[in-house]
Each structure stands twice: as C-alpha cells, then as structure tokens.
A and B are shown apart, each in its own frame.
Chain A
Amino acid sequence: MLLYIAKRLGRAFVSLCLIIIVVFVLLRQMPIEGYFASFDKMTPIQVENGLRKLGLLDPLPAQLLNFFGQLARGNLGISTRYRQNYPISRIIAQKAPFSLRFGLIAVGISIPLGLGLGVLMARRKGGAWDRMGTVYIVFMQAVPSAIYYLFLQLYGTQALNISLLYNPDKWQTMVLPVISLAMPSVAYFAMWMRRYTVDEANKEYIKLARVKGVPAMAVWFRHVFRNAVVPIVQLIPNSLLLTLAGSIYVESLYSIPGMGGLMVDVIKRQDNTMVQALVIIFAVLTIVGLLLGDLAMALVDPRISLAKRTEAR
C-alpha cells in the first residue's frame, strides 16, 4: 500500500515537472511584446535591458533552473501587463478564495443531487425518473457548456430579477453561478451512480436478501446503496476538476473575481508570465485531484493493492 502511494506520488511529480518544463519552454517562444506593458513606445535598448532584467537573455536551461528555484520558494514571477510589476502570487491570493468558495459549494450540492438522481433513475429502469434523468445527462454531455451557461444566465437573471453580474454584497447573485457550475457535475454523478446501483442491484446476494424477506427499503439502503456509493469516492476529485474547467467560463460570464475569469483576462491581454503561472496552477490542481482520487480509491477499495498493480503494468 505504502509502496503504491509512493509510486503514484512519484508519477504525479514526474508529470508535474514535465508540464512545468514544457509550459516554460513553450512560453519562451512567444513574442516579447508580452513582457512589457507599453512595448510600442520603447527603444530597442530599453527592450534589451528589460529582457535582461527579467533574466530572459540567459540560456534556456539556466532560466529553467532559475524558475524551478523560484517555484520552490513559492514565487510565481511578476505580472507584466495585467498589473505591471506586481507579484503574481499576491494576485492569485486575492482571487483564489472566490474560486474556492464557488467550486466547493457547487461540488457540495452536486454530490447529494447527483447521487439522489442516480438512485431514483436506477430504482425503476425505464420509468419516468430514468427517462428524465437520461435526457438531462445526454443534454449535459452533448450540448456545449457555453450554450446552457449563457441561456441560464440570460433567463435566470430575468426570472430572479437580479443583475447579470456577480455582486459580493448580494447573496442572490451567487445562486446562478453555483447552479451553472453544479449542473454538469450533477449529470456526472447521476450517470455513474445509476450504473453502479444497477450493477449492485443485479448481484446474487441482493436476490438472496430479497428471498430471505429483508424489507425492500432495507435492501436498498443497507446493501445496494452502501456498496454502490463506494466507487463514487474516486469521482469527487474529477468533479472538482470539472468545476475548475467550468469556472473559466462561469467566472468570466458573471464577472466573478476568481482564477477562471483571470485566466480569460490574461490570455486576452497576452500577459506571458501570468498565463504561465495560471496554466501551471491549473495543471497542479488537476494532478493533485487525480492523485487524491486514486489514493482515495486505494483506501476505500481493498482490492486495489500493489501486487496487482505491478503485475498489470
């Protein structure tokens, strides 16, 4: 078990380093305008001095090593265009709490909703709940998220009679972004919960329990649900990631001052160092999410052991 965790950690670390190297090297190929707020007004000498100050004239391996040193100290570099000469980590520190709050609330409500929908769908296959749920899941999976985010914002704000954008002083304005973020996650949880529940309900021991005369409710809750809900554990980090990707849209649609909206902002302003920092942060979050999912699964499911893993690989 410990060895498995160590191996999994090692792999995550290798991926992380690779991503950072690739991102860093690729972003150095960008036009140098992205490092200056007012490139057009600068003389070539100013540009060269500026680049030297940023350490961009060093050989690439040296820059890379330098960057890893910075990262180890928690320094993500300084913003050049978004907010000139301002440390990126400070900008992120202001933005992250918003993203975190929205993300956690969204995932928090999508778990009970998704699990509930999944169980309702599985209880009567082909029934009304099953059909409605299937339509919902297909819709969420097939239709580009931009469409339902936009229409939810458009008609939702009208129906609730609130302003289009997020206002930190009014809690009502939080409702729609949270719903937007939760919708795909609900479909995701419901889809898997339905599948796991159906699988579990068809097992022999459930038949035996029924034959023995265990009350239907007890069979559902004590046996089917409890066993079907276990593999859901590994979906939670994925759902967080889903929310993360959704946040890029939703935060900029509702002008929420979070990291997703920031990402769209700095891409539009071509702020190279900010894009680099944000891409790395999103990659780190993804890797950590997948790692936690695998570790949680290994903890919950005793069948996943090191022995099997090494054999399989």
Chain B
Amino acid sequence: MSRFSLGERRVERAGDDVALALRNAAREAAKNTAAGAVNGDARQDSARVSSYLYSAKPDDLSPEQIAALPPGVFRLAPGDAREAEQTGYSHYSYWGSTLRMFLANRGAVAALSIVIIIVLFTFIQPYLPRQSDPNLIHNSPETGMQIINRAPDGEFWFGTNSIGQDLWARIWSGARTSLFIGLTVAVIQAAIGILMGALWGYARKLDFLFTEIYNILNNIPTTIVLILASYILRPSVRTIILAMSFTSWIVLARFIRNLTLIIRDQDFNVASRCLGTGLRRIITRNLLPQMVSVIMLRVALSIPYAIDMEVFLTYIGLGVPIETPSLGNLINAGRILMMSPSLRYQLIFPAIVLSLLTICFYLTGNAFADAADPKNHR
C-alpha cells in the first residue's frame, strides 16, 4: 500500500501549482476590495474624522469627545446578534452529514464492524474462559510429550504450532501486537504531522526550510530507512514504531500544509476573516472540516501499512523477537512449514486474520475519507 504513495506525491506536486494560483487570485481579490473601500465613501468623511482618530485611539474617546463629534458621521447601527445568526443559519451539520454519508455506504459499515469486532476481541480474548497463554507449551497429559503440530480441533481451535503452543492464543496475541504497532504509529504520525504541517502552512518563513527538508527526506526510500533503523537498533516493537514514525510524518505534514495554503486564501475563508471570525472558529469551522478527510485517510491507511511493514521486517530478519507473538512472526513461522499440506493451517490462519484486518482498515479509511469530504455533502 505504501508503494502507491509515490504516485500521490506527484499529484500533490501538481496540486501545488493550483494552490499557488488560488492563493494569488484570493490575494488580488482581497486587495481590490480593500482599495475600493478606501476610495469610496470613507474618503469624504475622513478629513473631518481624522482629527479625532489621531488625537486618541477611537476606543478611548471620552464622553465629551463623543458628544463633540459632528452629527451624521457615526450612526448607531441597528444590530441584533441573534438575528444575524439566523440569516446565516443552515441546517447543515458537518459531522451529521459525514455520519450519514458513511452509514449510507453498506460495505464500509460492514468493514468498520469487522474492524471493531476484531479490535475488541483481541483485547477481550485473554479474559475469556479457557484461553491459554500464547507462549505456553502444551504437554499431553497421557504421554507428557509436547503437543506438536496438532491440527485444529475442539481443544485447539486453530491447532498448535511446531513447539506445541496454542495457535488460537498466539494469533490474537499477535494481532494485539500488530494493532498496537499500527495504532501507535498512526497516532504519533498524526500528532507530529498535523503540528508540523500547520507550522509549515501558517509560518511563511518556515516554508523554505520545510520544503527543502521535505525534498531531501522524500528522496530517501522508506524501506531503506526502516531496514537501516531496525538493523542498527535492537529489533523490538519500540524500534519498529520509532522507525516508522520517523519516516511517515512528513507525508502527512505536506498534505496538511498544502490544504492549509489552499483553504486559507479561499474566498469563503477570506470573507470569514474579514467579518472578524475568531481564529478558533476559523480553525474548527473553516479549516478542520476540509482536512478531516485527508487526515483520516492518511491515518487509517497508515495502520495497514505499519502492519505490512512489520511483516516485511520480520521476513528479512529484523522484526520483533520471536517470544513476542506478532502477525509477522506467525506468518514467518507458517511459511517455513508451508510445504507440507497438513501443516498449512499454520500459515493460512494468521494470513486470513492479517488480510481481514488490513483490508477492512483500508476500506473503512477510504469510505470515511469520502464521507468526510465536504464536497460530497449534499
């Protein structure tokens, strides 16, 4: 899945030019309106008012000064906050529409349900009755020998592995490890990516620096960084999380930066700013809804990606230690035995759980990104 990000990057770059054009257009428009206002009515009164304006800040006018103001210059505007709110009110609710759009997509709801069920189950499973420890080696009560490679039956639902451990317990424990890696990477990536992206987009002075960092970092293949980091640090869950967080944030940051640039200078936002909307409201009402879809997509897709990378690193011998069951470890163990058909279940069961997880995360992420995109809201 990571592989495709390369292509999106290209499109992003093309999007840059669009962003630039939009930005310039908005700036021109803003300049023109400002100039028009100055040249219009204001000029006539300005001479009379200027003495008051320059003598003190307008807010500091004393009651005498206010009384001495020439009549007709200032008129009390009839304003009612509630009334103003009513004209601009619509029944549109961003999150409501997003939810409705998402629920209308039946496949996505099914995928999300599977994700929720699997995630919940991995956490509940150890507390259910009759579950064995994933690292416990089972001995047969009659012979005292280890129960090796027992095919799935009533006692061991997914069979046992080559040293007599319960595969059912190992798969859920492995799914727990893999999910932990995926979710942690997603959270770290989102936190750093959004922060850096916002800085990159808002602080104009940092733009050059960030862009150059991006251009250099982006030339470095992710796989290589992962291999290198895992080779140098000791293979562990922490190393994998660290290596993946290190590489993934910059892509999200760039998405956020581009979106910030595009939306910041769009007409609706310029208008909103001119009307004096506070920064908080601008962020929550103008910026965030446009970004939620992209952020969610990147975050949701980074989970299957992280799981995939864990499998990859395990395969090339840099994964988590064998005592920690993970889906990568289980698949690798199953691969060694796959040549004998009777033992193939040891590869197939973890493969099914892994594929189910990644596909459902992927579908949910895509469907949510579609639903969260305000352009798709009617």
| Chain A residues in the interface with B (C-beta under 8 A) | 11-12, 14-16, 18-19, 23, 26-27, 29-30, 138-139, 141-147, 150-151, 154, 164, 184, 188, 191-192, 231, 234-235, 238, 241-242, 245, 248-249, 252, 263-264, 267-268, 275, 279, 282-283, 286-287, 290, 293, 297, 308, 311-313
B362 touches A147 (CB 8 A): no
Contacts of B219 in A (CB 8 A): 11-12, 15-16, 19, 286-287, 290
Q: CA–CA, A15 to B228, complex, Å?
A: 16
Q: CA–CA, A11 to B216, complex, Å?
A: 7
Q: CA–CA, A211 to B66, complex, Å?
A: 70
Interface CB pairs A-B, < 8 A, 14 = A12-B219, A26-B232, A27-B232, A138-B359, A144-B312, A146-B331, A147-B311, A147-B354, A147-B355, A150-B351, A238-B3, A241-B221, A245-B221, A267-B227
Contacts of B335 in A (CB 8 A): 150
Q: With both chains docked as a complex, state the minimum distance between the C-beta of B362 and any C-beta of chain A, in angstroms.
A: 4
- Residue in B10, B231, B354 whose CB lies within 8 Å of A144: B354
B7 touches A238 (CB 8 A): yes
Q: CA–CA, A267 to B228, complex, Å?
A: 10
- Residue in B20, B224, B304, B338 whose CB lies within 8 Å of A283: B224
B224 touches A312 (CB 8 A): no
CB within 8 Å for A139 and B4 given contacts A12-B219, A14-B216, A150-B335: no
A248 touches B223 (CB 8 A): yes
Q: Please tell me if B317 contacts chain A, counting CB pairs below 8 Å.
A: yes
Contacts of A146 in B (CB 8 A): 308, 311-312, 315, 331
Q: Which of B343-360 contact A (CB under 8 A)?
A: 344, 347, 351, 354-355, 358-359
Contacts of B16 in A (CB 8 A): 312
Tell me which of A145, A164, A188, A235 has the highest count of chain B C-beta atoms within 10 A of its own C-beta: A145
- Interface majority SS on A: helix, strand, loop or mixed? helix
Q: CA–CA, A215 to B363, complex, Å?
A: 39
Q: CA–CA, A279 to B7, complex, Å?
A: 23
Q: With both chains docked as a complex, state the minimum distance between the C-beta of B374 and any C-beta of chain A, in angstroms.
A: 21
Q: CA–CA, A160 to B351, complex, Å?
A: 23
CB within 8 Å for A279 and B3 given contacts A11-B216, A147-B355, A267-B316: no
Question: Binary interface profile of B, 197-231, with partner A (CB < 8 Å = 1, else 0)?
Answer: 00000000000100100011001110110011001
Q: CA–CA, A235 to B8, complex, Å?
A: 10
A15 touches B338 (CB 8 A): no
Q: CA–CA, A242 to B222, complex, Å?
A: 12
Q: Please tell me if B361 contacts chain A, counting CB pairs below 8 Å.
A: yes
Q: With both chains docked as a complex, state the minimum distance between the C-beta of B148 and any C-beta of chain A, in angstroms.
A: 22
Q: Please tell me if B17 contacts chain A, counting CB pairs below 8 Å.
A: yes
Tell me which of A142, A147, A282, A297 has the highest count of chain B C-beta atoms within 10 A of its own C-beta: A142
Contacts of B227 in A (CB 8 A): 263, 267, 279
Q: With both chains docked as a complex, state the minimum distance between the C-beta of B254 and any C-beta of chain A, in angstroms.
A: 13
B221 touches A283 (CB 8 A): yes
Q: CA–CA, A147 to B318, complex, Å?
A: 18
- Interface majority SS on B: helix, strand, loop or mixed? helix
Q: CA–CA, A264 to B315, complex, Å?
A: 9
Q: CA–CA, A301 to B336, complex, Å?
A: 49
Contacts of A184 in B (CB 8 A): 3
B232 touches A142 (CB 8 A): no
Top 5 A-B residue pairs of the complex, sorted by shortest distance between their CB atoms: A142-B362, A15-B219, A144-B308, A286-B221, A238-B6
CB within 8 Å for A150 and B347 given contacts A138-B363, A145-B308, A249-B315: yes
Q: Please tell me if B181 contacts chain A, counting CB pairs below 8 Å.
A: no
Q: Please tell me if B291 contacts chain A, counting CB pairs below 8 Å.
A: no
A142 touches B304 (CB 8 A): yes
Q: Please tell me if B283 contacts chain A, counting CB pairs below 8 Å.
A: no
Contacts of B304 in A (CB 8 A): 142, 144
Q: CA–CA, A3 to B311, complex, Å?
A: 43
- Residue in A144, A290, A308 whose CB lies within 8 Å of B17: A308
- Residue in B3, B215, B316 whose CB lies within 8 Å of A248: B316
Known contacts A142-B1, A231-B10; 18 additional CB pairs below 8 A are A14-B216, A18-B216, A19-B219, A138-B359, A141-B362, A142-B304, A142-B358, A144-B355, A150-B338, A150-B347, A154-B338, A184-B3, A238-B7, A248-B312, A263-B316, A282-B223, A308-B20, A313-B211
Q: CA–CA, A235 to B231, complex, Å?
A: 30
Contacts of B331 in A (CB 8 A): 146-147, 150
Q: With both chains docked as a complex, state the minimum distance between the C-beta of B122 and any C-beta of chain A, in angstroms.
A: 18
Q: CA–CA, A263 to B10, complex, Å?
A: 29
Q: Please tell me if B307 contacts chain A, counting CB pairs below 8 Å.
A: yes
CB within 8 Å for A147 and B20 given contacts A242-B3, A268-B317, A313-B211: no
Contacts of B20 in A (CB 8 A): 308, 311-312
Q: With both chains docked as a complex, state the minimum distance between the C-beta of A110 and any C-beta of chain B, in angstroms.
A: 12
Q: Please tell me if B35 contacts chain A, counting CB pairs below 8 Å.
A: no
Q: CA–CA, A293 to B7, complex, Å?
A: 11
Q: With both chains docked as a complex, state the minimum distance between the C-beta of B215 and any C-beta of chain A, in angstroms.
A: 6
Q: Please tell me if B124 contacts chain A, counting CB pairs below 8 Å.
A: no
A282 touches B224 (CB 8 A): yes
Q: With both chains docked as a complex, state the minimum distance between the C-beta of B103 and any C-beta of chain A, in angstroms.
A: 21
Q: CA–CA, A248 to B3, complex, Å?
A: 14
Contacts of B211 in A (CB 8 A): 313
A144 touches B311 (CB 8 A): yes
A11 touches B359 (CB 8 A): no
Q: CA–CA, A241 to B219, complex, Å?
A: 12
Q: CA–CA, A264 to B318, complex, Å?
A: 10
CB within 8 Å for A138 and B362 given contacts A11-B216, A267-B318: yes
Q: CA–CA, A275 to B16, complex, Å?
A: 37
Q: Please tell me if B339 contacts chain A, counting CB pairs below 8 Å.
A: yes
CB within 8 Å for A144 and B358 given contacts A245-B223, A286-B224: yes
